Amino acid sequence: MSSGRFAPSPSGDLHVGNLRTALLAWLCARTTGRDVVLRIEDLDRVREGAEQRQLADLAALGLDWDGPVVHQSQRARFYDAALASLAGRGLVFECFCTRREVLEAPSAPHGPPGSYPGTCRDLTASERDERRRERPVALRLRAAVADFTVEDVLHGTVTGVVDDVVLRRGDGAVAYNLAVVVDDAQQGVDQVVRGDDLLSSAPRQAYLATLLGATPPTYVHVPLALNVDGRRLAKRDGAVTRAELVDRGVDVLALIADSLGLEGATPHDMLRTFDVAAIPREPWIVTPPA
């Protein structure tokens, strides 16, 4: 069964922009006959109680999902297997660079500022041994292409840079780019709806999916919610979570629906007229309630 997904990180409460993306992911999946997968991406920051509040907020909006909630923290064996598969084909190399060194180094000729310049790509065995005694080891993908093309429902054909992305960090944790690709492939996720700040990640993730024998998903990168100053919505902007807005008498689902031009008292009502092509292309500027 093909699926769409919503995959929050339990680092804090969801704000209305996150909930708007969740609604869009749900609508895109349900209107195309897909299941909805809910995945908790808890490999990094986890705030106590955040997951429970996130699930409660989604349910309060009338969103449901199929099957049990999946946690990345319980899927290490799948990431290890994918990493071993890539390494067995010579597609992984050890890297000893710090994040600061990568940012300060001249970028690869084809890459934007901050893209990995290939510093450790061709170290000799003795050079690797020497560095291994001094620094933690990260594992990077030995990419064979400079760019890759994906299709996005809202943005059309998008070609983006592919560099030697980190697969396992120096602290031993699996990197997001590997985890999300493995999870989507194994969970049958062939439609990815998420914020358009992640559009530049799609080509490298799609390329990695092909290396692992998976078909890249259909992408729908939707506009973000911004504050009145045009910056990403955050806690500092006042009442931005569902609980805070409800306390001020705001109907959160109606607020989100209005920003999308949707009609209906529930998400299921909105399915009747939802059209992915009609999703606004501009960011949603969220005005704090009086």
The residues annotated as belonging to the active site are 235
Structural element, H or E, at residue 192: strand 189-195
CB-hemisphere CA count at 13 Å for 108? 18
What's the order of all strands across the beta sheet hosting 3-6?
Answer: 70-71, 35-40, 3-6, 189-195, 218-222, 147-152, 156-161
Going by their DSSP bridges, the two strands 166-168 and 138-141 should be labelled as antiparallel
176 is in an annotated binding site: yes
209 is in an annotated binding site: no
8 is in an annotated binding site: yes
CB 267 within 8 A of CB 62: yes
7 is in an annotated binding site: yes
C-alpha span between 169 and 95 (Å, rounded): 9
| 106: its two tokens | 């001249």
194 is in an annotated binding site: yes
120 is in an annotated binding site: yes
Closest among 148, 140, 89 to 118, alpha carbons compared? 140
274 is in an annotated binding site: no
9 is in an annotated binding site: yes
What's the order of all strands across the beta sheet hosting 138-141?
Answer: 92-95, 138-141, 166-168
48 is in an annotated binding site: no
244 is in an annotated binding site: no
28 is in an annotated binding site: no
For 44, which DSSP code?
S
- Distance between first and last Cα of the chain: 45
Q: Which amino acids are annotated as binding site for Zn(2+), given as ranges?
A: 95, 97, 116, 120
Q: Which amino acids are annotated as binding site for L-glutamate, given as ranges?
A: 5-9, 41, 176, 194
Q: Which amino acids are annotated as binding site, given as ranges?
A: 5-9, 41, 95, 97, 116, 120, 176, 194, 235
Q: Which amino acids are annotated as binding site for ATP, given as ranges?
A: 235
